[in-house]
Amino acid sequence: MDAKPLHPDPSVAPPPGRPQPAYRTEAGTASSPHTVGATAPQITVDYQAARNIAAQVARKREKLLKTVPDMDRDSEEQLCLNWINEAVALWSDAHAMTPHEDGALRRAVYDLLYRAGRLQPYLDDKRVEDIIIQGPHEVWLDYGDGERRMVGPIADSEDELLELLRELARDSGHNERTISTANPTLALSLPDGSRLQAITGLGPMTYVVIRRHRVSQADLNDVVQLGTIDPILREFLGACVRAEKNVMIAGKQKAGKTTLLRAMLKEFDPECRFGTVQTEDELFAHTNGYHRQVVSLVGRQSNGEKDVTGRGAGEITLLDLMHPALRMSLERIVVGEVRGPEIVAMMQALTNGSGGNLCTIHARRPDIVFDRIAELYALAQSNLSEQLAYRQTANGLDFIVYVDMKDETRIGGRRHRYVSHVLELTGIGESGRPATNEIFSPGTEFGDLRAVPRMDPGCIDDLRRVGFDSGLLQLPYGAWEHPLALKVGAGR
């Protein structure tokens, strides 16, 4: 079930740009994204037949690879495609299927053999933001515009769903990761970059959420087009990266922190040698075709057993990765998400190494970011004090960029994702907490929640040296043409 980005045979899947057929189960319940376009056909797929054909082809493939073990992947796959076409043709003749039904069955068999099975049509729908699975029979698609739709099953039983998850782990290159009653959680990145989190054995059914990265290769100009930042903030953030300032991106879950982080990476010089440290690869920096010197490090889950210290055998945490990363002659370090003990090593890197490091952190509001950092310090080691956390944060970080989201889909609106604050850290304040200046903050006085310029940072000369026009910070309304179109909010 190895994944490929495109089918090599046009009879298996339509070429890019054409509507994908909407699949239906034998019972008629939709089991794929809703139809693209009003005229796209509604097609029923007999998944029992698909499984039978896939099993036949899999047996032939197994015999083939025993006979010709060094056969290249493309030749092997083409033979399998021929066998799929032959088997589907026989089934079609026996059941008087239409050409559209033939194509849908071929696609379903191919997906069972080489991709994500009955889950694949949902992964192929570019509009889907989250795939929410409540056991094998209940699947919800959460679209980027806030629409949520229930679709059909992706498996016929809990056992089949668990086997699908195990195959996804194997095909994603995470051979050490599995899911069972002994290992009830599974976290991994799928080949298309989607992030999967699954839980089993701790409730009445298996639960899975797949977070799809619909904007995976954006730069800061694209983030402007998305409405997250305006051109002034685009220039400011680009200058912060080029001036080697240490930046932490904070925000709520699903607000767009990772999208902004990926975009800011595009401000690195293509020849910059930097490392990414992540639990699952969500930055794709080593495969984006832009950077040439990326050390991509991904943590490893335990195999379920415990060593003599009580730690999971084979486990590699982000904290474990941070120390060797600092010895890889890296110019910068990027941590996809700081959410545990690695915060200590990250802050040590910020204070001891060169500048230009980036990371993200969850926080409900910009004013609690420092408390979140202190909490993670306390979790890392009991003797790490709040004062130490504040001091290293003040010494290591230059800016905090806060990404917010307002979801008005329940009242007939849409989801709005935007940067609301940029805080400059200026040292330790009188209370012992890091002191900050609000360089950008919401323009609430004229009915906007998005960031607008407020003042020059103390490091403005550093930004000027890398080409930033400081006059842009004198525009009190920023470059927004009109306030954010909220149904309920600032100025309404």
Q: Per residue in 443-470, pLDDT tens? A: 999 889 999 999 999 999 999 999 999 9
Domain with 372 in it: what CATH number? 3.40.50.300
> Which of 91, 107, 123 represents a domain boundary (last residue)?
123
Helices 257-265 + 231-242 axis angle, to 10: 60
pLDDT at residue 25 is higher than 60: no
Asked which of 66, 94, 123 is the last residue of a domain, the reply is 123
Q: Say if residue 301 is in the same domain as residue 358.
A: yes
DSSP assigned state of 94:
H
Considering the domain architecture, whether residues 447 and 366 belong to the same structural domain is answered as yes
Q: Give me the CATH number covering residue 187.
A: 3.30.450.370
pLDDT of residue 29: 36
The confidence score (pLDDT) of residue 472 equals 97
Residue 241 lies in a domain: yes
Mean pLDDT score, 275-281: 87
Helices in 140-201 by DSSP H: which ranges? 158-171
Residue 213, both tokens: 């990265």
20 or 348, greater pLDDT: 348
Does residue 136 lie in a domain region? yes
pLDDT value, residue 4: 35
Residue 28 is predicted with a pLDDT of 34
pLDDT of residue 411: 86
> Are 197 and 264 in the same domain?
no
Residues of the domain holding 467: 220-474
Mean pLDDT of 181-205: 89
What pLDDT sits at residue 289? Answer: 86
DSSP category for residue 480: -
- Residue 295 contacts residue 330 (beta carbons within 8 Å): yes
Whole-prediction pTM: 0.78
Cα(431)–Cα(387) distance, rounded to whole angstroms? Answer: 10
Residue 30: predicted pLDDT: 35
Q: What is the pLDDT of residues 316-338, one digit of tens each?
A: 888 888 888 888 999 999 988 88
Structure tokens at 319: 């904290």
Which pair of structure tokens corresponds to residue 86?
């032959």
pLDDT digits (tens, 9 = 90+) for 241-269: 999 999 999 999 889 999 999 999 999 99
Most trustworthy range by pLDDT among 5-9, 142-146, 414-418, 423-427: 423-427
Q: Are 286 and 269 in contact (CB under 8 A)?
A: no
pLDDT (mean) for 164-179: 81
How many structural domains comprise the chain? 3
User: Has residue 363 been placed in a domain?
Assistant: yes
| Residues 255, 109 share a domain | no
Same domain for 210 and 225?
no
* pLDDT recorded at residue 24: 40
Sign of CA dihedral 360, 361, 366, 368: negative
Average confidence (pLDDT) over 38-64: 80
Buried b (16+ CB within 10 A) or exposed e, 52-64: ebbeebeeebeeb
Kindly tell me if the per-residue pLDDT of 438 is higher than 90. Answer: yes
Dihedral of the alpha carbons of 215, 221, 225, 226, in degrees to the nearest 10 = 40
Q: Are residues 146 and 258 in the same domain?
A: no
In a domain, 489, yes or no: no
Does residue 275 form part of some domain? yes
The predicted-structure confidence for 79-88, as pLDDT tens digits, reads as follows 999 999 999 9
Asked whether residue 175 falls in the same domain as residue 106, the answer is no
Whether 135 contacts 158, CB under 8 Å:
yes
Domain boundary among 169, 193, 214: 214
- Structure-block tokens of residue 158: 């809990």
Q: Do residues 353 and 367 both lie within one domain?
A: yes
DSSP state of 64: H
Integer Cα distance of 356 and 247 in angstroms: 7
Q: What is the pLDDT of residue 38?
A: 32
pLDDT band for position 20 (50/70/90)?
Answer: very low
Mean pLDDT for 294-305 is 79
Identify whether residues 322 and 466 lie together within a single domain.
yes
Are 140 and 278 members of one domain?
Answer: no
What is the average per-residue pLDDT within 292-302?
86
Q: Which tens digit of pLDDT belongs to each residue from 114-150?
A: 888 999 999 988 889 899 999 999 999 998 777 889 9
Residues 176, 119 share a domain: no
Pair 418, 336 in one domain: yes
Q: Tokens 């306390």 sit at which residue?
A: 378
Residue 490 lies in a domain: no
Q: What is the pLDDT of residue 311?
A: 63
Region 363-373: mean pLDDT is 94
Question: Any idea what the Cα angle at residue 161 is, between residues 158 and 163, rounded to 5°?
Answer: 110
Angle separating helix axes 73-95 and 99-114, nearest 10 degrees:
140
Cα–Cα dist 237/207, whole Å: 38
Question: Is there a domain that residue 391 lies in?
Answer: yes
Q: How confident is the model at residue 310 (pLDDT cuts 50, 70, 90)?
A: low
Answer yes or no: is 432 within a domain.
Answer: yes
Residues paired with residue 138 on neighbouring β-strands, in sequence order:
134
Of the CA atoms within 13 Å of residue 416, those in its CB half-sphere come to 18
**Cα gap 356→371, rounded to integer Å:** 23
